[in-house]
Amino acid sequence: MPTTAYQIDVIKAFNDNYIWLLRNQQYAVIVDPSDANVCINYLKQHGLILTDILITHHHHDHIGGLSTLIEYNEQRDQATRVYAPKLNEISGTTHPLVGNETIVLEQFNTTFKVIALPGHTLGHIGYVDDASLFCGDTLFSAGCGRLFEGTPAQMSQSLAQLAQLKDTTKVYCSHEYTLANLTFALMVEPNNLDILNYYNQVVEARKQDKTTLPSTIGLEKTINPFLRCHLPQIQQAASDYKNAIITTSIETFAAIRQWKDNV
């Protein structure tokens, strides 16, 4: 039997949100349901029973459809397990999480580890198994989330945790920001051919309205400036931006994040 027994489908919502749906022939698990209507339509179209919802953080564009999905299941006498950050006391949560827990999804023959990822928000969490990472707005392809609640040190540590995952781990983040992020990455590392080559691929993909996700941890370590803050060339770029001498990963991250915020 394979390590995991599910496939991952993408449901597009709003302008650039991605809702990830894990499924087999009968059951479904939804990650960050921003829009209930598109989720319900998908469940009905494919004849799937929703059993679990995984929430990464409390922002409305990640939980906006949660209450309606719970009601949808209640009308069908179907219980809904809702995993969500404990810190934010999100209504409907059945399993409040802080990180370092495990979630067993028996219907998919897999176990997810819960990772605390403070930075974008203080309660932000991620879910990872042997093959896949669902990281909300912590790590984007070629980028990372803004610091709405956390500190540069917290976000830097969260990203460092993710960089330690297997290179083959697929990265399922929640927004289609890849092209804009690569444009900025080329500002930071204009001579990085990995970024330039991938930028060209993404331009063509987006012309055809193709999603650029999932990424992989291995790819992100070559193209994502926020995972490369330990490297001399990134620290030099940060120093040039701040007109100061920067030599630590956290200072570099803070400078690059500020730079990105102001582009």
Is residue 68 in a domain? Answer: yes
According to DSSP, the β-strands at 49-54 and 27-31 are parallel
pLDDT in tens, 214-255: 999 999 999 999 999 999 999 999 999 999 999 999 999 999
**DSSP notation for 178-222:** HHHHHHHHHHH-TT-HHHHHHHHHHHHHHHTT-----EEHHHHHH
> The domain containing residue 30 runs over which residues?
7-175
Give a yes or no: residue 182 inside a domain: no
Domain containing 79 — which CATH number? 3.60.15.10
Nearest 5°: phi and psi at 38?
-70, -30
Side chain identity at residue 242, one-letter code = K
Confirm whether 220 is domain-assigned.
no
Residues contacting residue 244 through CB under 8 Å, at least 6 positions apart: none
Is 184 a domain residue? no
Per the prediction, the chain carries an average pLDDT of 97
Q: Is 256 a member of any domain? A: no
Q: Which positions are catalytic?
A: 57, 59, 61-62, 120, 137, 175
Over residues 28-52, the pLDDT tens digits come to 999 999 999 999 999 999 999 999 9
Do the domain assignments include residue 188? no
Domain count, the chain: 1
The reply to whether 187 falls in a domain is no
130 within a domain of the structure (yes/no) = yes
